[in-house]
Structure 1
Amino acid sequence: MKQNPVLSRWLVVAAMLCAASAMAGTVMTPAEAHALGDTACTPLKNGLLDCQQIAAPVPPPASDPSIRPLDPMFAPTTQAFPPPQADAPMLPSFDPIPSQLKGDTVAIGWDIGFGTPASWWEVLDNDALRLKSHNFVQRPLGAAPLGENIVASEGMIVQGGTVSLSVQSGVYRLGPLKPGRHLIEVRLCNPDVDGKPLCNGKTFETWVGGNGETGVQPDKPQLDWIPQITTGEPLNVGWNLWWGQPGSYWQLLDDKQVLFESHEFSEQGERSQSGQTVLKGLASGKHSLQVRLCNALQCADSDPSPVEVLLPAESPSRPMLALLPLADEQWLLRWSLPKFSQTAKPTDWQLLDADVPAVLLHERAVRVCQVPAGAQQLVTSYCGETRMAQSALPKQLLLRVCAGQRCIDSDTVPVVMLLATPELE
């Protein structure tokens, strides 16, 4: 029977559309991605994740449901039982991750040779969720000549003459990765008795893309004079490399924690450099500021400079809001608050109708993110986001961010002033 060529062409197109639909990801907030289950995600510029569900593992064999446990043979009150408790997974041994990647993907692998296994595991790249999975494998731990022991992988000893299988292992190829520095966190988790994650893991640092930056250690930068005591006024932080090997980017640190990163320099010479920034709303308390000058992962730190802020700023940093349009009359509400302005990580946040006022939303998901401050600068911040229907948006918004009982409110902002162009690439 002769087949209709037009019909065949339409069947091929339909099959391609179905395949594309099956491969297409779903744009989600980080909280939505965590709640989804087994998923692989790619971060987007606006803080959302483009996620695809991955196949969950096949359930293990179970007993016949008709089998019932015997009734207790004793009165429960006569026995003393310890309170329920949960254990974090055993810290696994990890496959090494090179400090410089040849391509834009990296293989991740880990093994638990003995101890408590995990219920699920996650991979985060620069604080963005890339994988959440309940899939596990078993891998051979290695072999050694009879009578000898070898280290099969990080922290794992294998007896001679035997080949052992891991209790639990995980493998994943992460990518593609954008050029630049990547902090890759691999963590294994079990649910605690209250349902919260109980995790154990390790963070790796690697660099993608050469550009002539790798292997060249910059020389030590020098901080400009900084007052040791301030009363909340903006703090000018400058530094110089008077002569030596320059860097390609620099960071401002407080007690070894990165507050700010920049690829911009005030002055740039063949053998000299300088940079500066202004900290507005530095949190009250004692600080230890340093500048770190880097080429790829090769860095040099300045001497620390102690600073004590005695009084809070007259105009404290307030949460910044952005409203981005999504598909199907949905909107993404994002907020950010510079980390250097807070003495503690926020525990929760609320979205209020500023005209009533009434609480529209109460969330406990707060994450660390990098907020652009210009084309070449990033500010380490606390962030949160939620998806809202257009019909649920009030005329004016107020956001309240809390760390326990201590809260700070955003400015009251009309919704029409929050419109922004989405960046979904």
Structure 2
Amino acid sequence: MFKQLVIGGGSLSLLLLAAQIQANTPNAPVISWMPADYQLQHGSVQVPVRWDMWWGSNGNKWYLHKNDSAVYSAALTADGQNAQSGSTTLTFTQPGSYQLQVSLCQVSGATEECAQSGITTITIGGSGGTVPDPVEPDPVEPDPVDPDPVEPAPTNPAAPAKPVFGWSENSVTLTGGSANLNLSWNMWWGNNGNLWQLKQNGAVVHSAALTANGQQAQSGSTSVNFSSTGNYNFVVSLCQQSSSALLCTDSDIKTVAVTAGSGGDNGGDGGFNPWTDLDMTAWPHPLKQSNQAYSNTTGKKVGAYFVEWGIYGRAFHAADIPAQNLTHIYYGFIPVCGANPSLQAANPQGHAALVSQCAGKPDYSVVVHDAFAALEKGYPGDVWDQPIRGIFAELYRLKLAHPHVKILPSVGGWTLSDPLYQVGVNPAARAVFIESMIDFIRTYDFFDGIDIDWEFPGGGGATPELGSPQDGAGFATLMRELREALDALSVETGRDYELAAAMSGGVQKLSVVDWEDAHQYMDYINLMTYDYYGAWNGVLGHQTGLYPSANSPISGFSADEAVQYLLNRGVPPDKIALGAAMYGRGWQNVAGVSGNNPFSGTGGAGIGGGWEPGIMDYKKIEADFMGGPEANGVNGFTVGWDDTAKASYVWNPATNTLISMDTKRSVREKGAYILQHQLGGIFAWEIDADNGHILNAMHEGLGHPQQ
């Protein structure tokens, strides 16, 4: 680790200086993958450079060095141990070889302590070629631990760009006469293909169709089985197939050595066991941001959803989860193979990744969606030949550090629920799904059960034409058969498994389900008591209200109405969990307000400034509009409270901007309601949007004391 010191204004003892270096030096940054070759066009080329520091001591300034000279610097805001990142674009006008390096620094007075990244070398050519697209692919990115791959521009401009093998072992060991190896590839930018093939020693052993999407990234993966020793050469061909031609671009050759095993290990991974072999040096992590430690004296569930894509723009990783304050973590989302028109319409790149993951698997199987994020991304403590890395390895570490936490894969979600409509009513589809689901949690055995997020039985989800009256009985059948399968797995493993479902918080959608049958197989019903109102239309209301307000526009849209409905259907109260929102939904250009009540008006377009229109993280609302968790508002906003609905909001009458959200006050009210009605607990969507204050309030509302 590089440390740069500038000392002025007197002397400093060596002991104090050493302690200061240890305490203040940031963690080392990593330059993101970038092509190794660029070409000048019209005398120049722009090269985007991005870096990440995944966790550790923060810096407040960073530098980009080109051939040992600083060519760019920028200030940063330190945020404890949380991730940091930065980016800029360099303009090159001369051909040659250039070495790039990032320094992440903590500047204090005359002292500057820095950590440096590794060196990335790029070559600028003098003519021809194609300038790479400066937009970094998202959500799939190459592993920052691995060496930078060399990706020259394709020689045939009509052929697809060159694919690159993802990281995997270069050797495997036969156990019981066989071994498996997962091989994946990526094409980070350039001409797309509509077909890919895997060749083993020159023969095609796998092929799959792809959905072309302009110049965007593509990827694919498959599993290869070995039954004999030897060296095997693999090549990926990315092709554009038409009625008259097949144009392909090959990857470099990857050689895999297969050796004979001595028996007794757990497969072709050389006997790696994530429960015993992961480096746990950095774990457990301390609580970050404003999270405080609480003692769960009631034993009630305090859960939160953690999303796979949060590691990208949100820079929120498993190490940032305040695990000691949670009883349950729900991992969103696990997709189901088959027709997924909702995902295809909302996220074509995500759909292409899912199609690739499902290649060779039957419809209604479950798979990992973003293989890089879940299984391949390098984190501190990972090593190059570790067969499982990414978020899943981090969740093994989290489980080892906090064994009390239940971690459940959540299947479905708003854009991934389409296949569940067949799973619910088609016995053959359901059989494939359940077998695949059990195999999934057997393989990734840090998981403690299954969470089904079918949005929604009976219809009303992202694909309006899906849904039928049979879904209510189908949901109950799915719960029964999943419980039977989990109980059988318990006999096999000796562990207990939970079965939960995230359900609409609206009475109309709840009324579709055969609750008298379904609840007996379930551990928790997570009521999504949020998203009641939002900027998809101009109807104004509390998006996460506990009770209906005096003039609620829609009946059945409050937490109390949903809970009372389930209780009247015979659902035991201790199986019901209320949902808290770690985000707000808001409207611009609210019109027709009367009596200083913003909810008396009509909403306009959704607010901006968040990850998607109409939605904003709680932590940003608190900082920009509330002025603190208990404050009365800043920047022209006031913090409002509806004492009938027990709901919070912020309102700016000058700009006619309204945001409805949970705050510490409203979440404490939910906790008191849970205790009053002896419910099972509380959960939140989604943990990366909180700064700790909402989770703290979840404990405070349940009467849990600080440690």
TM-score tier after normalising by the smaller chain length? 0.3 to 0.5
TM-score by length of 1: 0.33
Between 1 and 2, higher relative CO (CA 8 Å, sep ≥ 6) is seen in: 1
Q: Greater share of strand residues, 1 or 2?
A: 1
Q: Greater share of helix residues, 1 or 2?
A: 2
